A and B are shown apart, each in its own frame.
Chain A
Amino acid sequence: MTTPLLEAVNLSVHFGGLKAVNDVSFDVWPNEVFSLIGPNGAGKTTIFNLISALYRPTAGEVRFEGEVISRMPPHVVARHGIARTFQNIELFEHATVLQNLLVGRHCHRHTGWWQDLLFTGSVRRAELEFRRQVEEVIEFLDLQHYRDSMVAGLPYGVRKVVELARALAMRPRLLLLDEPSSGLNTEETEDMGFWIEDIKEDLGITVVMVEHDMSLVSRVSDRVLALNLGEVLTLGTPEEVQAHPGVIEAYLGGTADV
Chain B
Amino acid sequence: MHFLFKTRYEQDIALFKHGGQRFWYAALAVALLAAPWLLSEYTLSQITFIGIYAIVCLGLMLLAGFTGQVSLGHAGFLAMGAYTEAYLQANGWPFVISLPLAALVAGITGVMIGLPALRVKGLYLSIATLAFGFILEQAVVSTEAITGGNAGMQLGKLVIAGIDFDDGSNFYYLVTFIAVLCVLGVVNLLRSPTGRAFVAIRDSEVSAQSMGINLAHYKTVAFALSAALAGIAGALYAHKIRFITPDQFGFLQSIELLMMVVIGGLGSIQGAIFGPAFWFVVQQLIVTGKDWLPEALGQQTGLQPTIFGIILVAIVLFEPLGLYGRWLKFRTFLEIFPFYRKGMFRRQKSYMKSERMK
Residues of A within 8 A of B (CB): 52, 54, 73-75, 78-79, 83-84, 86, 90-95, 98-99, 102-107, 109, 111, 113, 116-119, 123-124, 126-128, 130-132, 135, 150, 152-157, 159, 166, 170, 183-185
Give residues of chain B (180-229) contacting chain A, Cβ–Cβ below 8 Å: 185, 188-189, 191-197, 199-200, 202-204, 206-215, 221, 225
Q: A91-B204, A116-B195, A155-B348 known; A183 and B354 CB under 8 Å?
A: yes
CB distance from A10 to the nearest CB of B (A): 24
For the complex, is B96 an interface residue (Cβ under 8 Å from A)? no
**A153–B12 CB distance below 8 A:** no
Residues of B within 8 A of A (CB): 9-10, 12-13, 185, 188-189, 191-197, 199-200, 202-204, 206-215, 221, 225, 267, 347-348, 351-356
A54: which B residues are within 8 A, CB to CB?
Answer: 206, 209-210
CA distance A93 to B211 in the complex (A): 15
- Can you list 24 contacts pairing A with B, beta carbon distance less than 8 Å? A78-B211, A92-B199, A92-B208, A93-B204, A94-B202, A102-B193, A104-B211, A105-B193, A116-B192, A117-B185, A119-B191, A119-B192, A123-B188, A128-B13, A130-B193, A131-B9, A132-B9, A150-B347, A152-B348, A153-B347, A156-B353, A183-B355, A184-B355, A185-B355
Q: A92-B204, A127-B13 known; A106 and B192 CB under 8 Å?
A: no
Q: A103-B196, A117-B185, A155-B351 known; A92 and B212 CB under 8 Å?
A: no
CB distance from A7 to the nearest CB of B (A): 20
CA distance A152 to B346 in the complex (A): 10
By CB atoms of chain A within 10 A, which of B10, B192, B194 has the most?
B192
Q: A116-B194, A155-B348, A159-B351 known; A52 and B188 CB under 8 Å?
A: no
CA distance A6 to B10 in the complex (A): 39
**B189–A116 CB distance below 8 A:** yes
**A103–B197 CB distance below 8 A:** yes
**B356–A92 CB distance below 8 A:** no
By CB atoms of chain B within 10 A, which of A54, A83, A95, A111 has the most?
A95
Q: A153-B348, A157-B355 known; A117 and B189 CB under 8 Å?
A: yes
Q: A52-B210, A84-B210, A117-B185 known; A95 and B203 CB under 8 Å?
A: yes
CA distance A32 to B225 in the complex (A): 45
**B207–A90 CB distance below 8 A:** yes
4 tightest A-B CB contacts, nearest first: A107-B212, A78-B212, A116-B192, A90-B207
CA distance A103 to B204 in the complex (A): 12
CA distance A210 to B189 in the complex (A): 37
A75: which B residues are within 8 A, CB to CB?
Answer: 209-215
CA distance A225 to B156 in the complex (A): 75
A73: which B residues are within 8 A, CB to CB?
Answer: 209, 214
CA distance A17 to B200 in the complex (A): 34
Q: Apart from A106-B196, A119-B192, list 12 A-B contacts with CB within 8 A.
A: A75-B209, A90-B206, A90-B207, A90-B210, A92-B204, A94-B199, A94-B267, A103-B208, A118-B188, A155-B348, A155-B351, A185-B355
CA distance A88 to B200 in the complex (A): 17
CA distance A98 to B202 in the complex (A): 17
CA distance A118 to B192 in the complex (A): 10
**B203–A91 CB distance below 8 A:** yes
B355: which A residues are within 8 A, CB to CB?
Answer: 155-157, 183-185
**B211–A113 CB distance below 8 A:** no
CA distance A146 to B153 in the complex (A): 56
CA distance A155 to B35 in the complex (A): 48
CB distance from B131 to the nearest CB of A (A): 27
CA distance A103 to B9 in the complex (A): 17
CA distance A95 to B202 in the complex (A): 10
A91: which B residues are within 8 A, CB to CB?
Answer: 203-204, 207
CA distance A157 to B356 in the complex (A): 10
A128: which B residues are within 8 A, CB to CB?
Answer: 9-10, 13
B210: which A residues are within 8 A, CB to CB?
Answer: 52, 54, 74-75, 78, 83-84, 90
Among candidates A95, A105, A152, A159, residue contacting B347 with C-beta atoms closer than 8 Å: A152
B356: which A residues are within 8 A, CB to CB?
Answer: 183-185
B194: which A residues are within 8 A, CB to CB?
Answer: 113, 116-117
